[in-house]
Amino acid sequence: MQIEVSGHNVDVTQALRAYISEKSERLVRHFDNLISAHYVLRLEKLEHTAEGTISVGGRTNPIHADATDEDMYAAIDALMDKLDRQVRRHKGKVTDHHRAAQGG
C-alpha cells in the first residue's frame, strides 16, 4: 500500500511518518486489497487533527475518517481505530456479497 502524509501547520517529521506507517500495517493485515492511503495532519490552536483516506480496490468509494485530540499521536491512534473498524466492515460486506453471489 502506498502511503502519503502531508501536514497543515505541522512539520511532518520522520518519526510521525514512521508511526503512521507502523499503524497502517494493521489495516493491511485485515484487508489486503488496499491500494493507497493519504493522511493529513492538521494543527489548529490546541487541537491536533488527523484525517485519513484509503483507496480500496474495486468500484467502491474510498474509506475516510478523521480524529481530533490534544496530542498528535493520540489523534493518529484514534484515526487508525476508526479506519480499522471501517476496513473490517468493508471486508465483511465484500466477502458476504461474493458468497451470496455464488449461491451458498
pLDDT at 35 over 70: yes
102 falls in which pLDDT band (50, 70, 90)?
A: low
pLDDT at 100 over 80: no
Task: Please give the pLDDT value at position 101.
Answer: 60
For the chain, domain boundaries: 2-101
Residues ≥6 apart with Cβ < 8 Å to 102? none
pLDDT at 18 over 80: yes
pLDDT at 52 over 90: yes
pLDDT one-digit tens code per residue, 58-89: 777 899 999 999 999 999 999 999 999 998 88
Task: Please give the pLDDT value at position 98.
Answer: 59
Task: Please give the pLDDT value at position 103.
Answer: 57
Domain 2-101 fold is Double Stranded RNA Binding Domain (3.30.160)
14: cell is 520522520
User: Helix, strand, coil % (nearest 5) of the chain?
Assistant: 45, 35, 20
Q: Which residue has the higher pLDDT, 74 or 90?
A: 74
Q: Which residue has the higher pLDDT, 36 or 101?
A: 36
2 forms bridges with which residues in the sheet?
36
Secondary structure letter of residue 45 according to DSSP: T
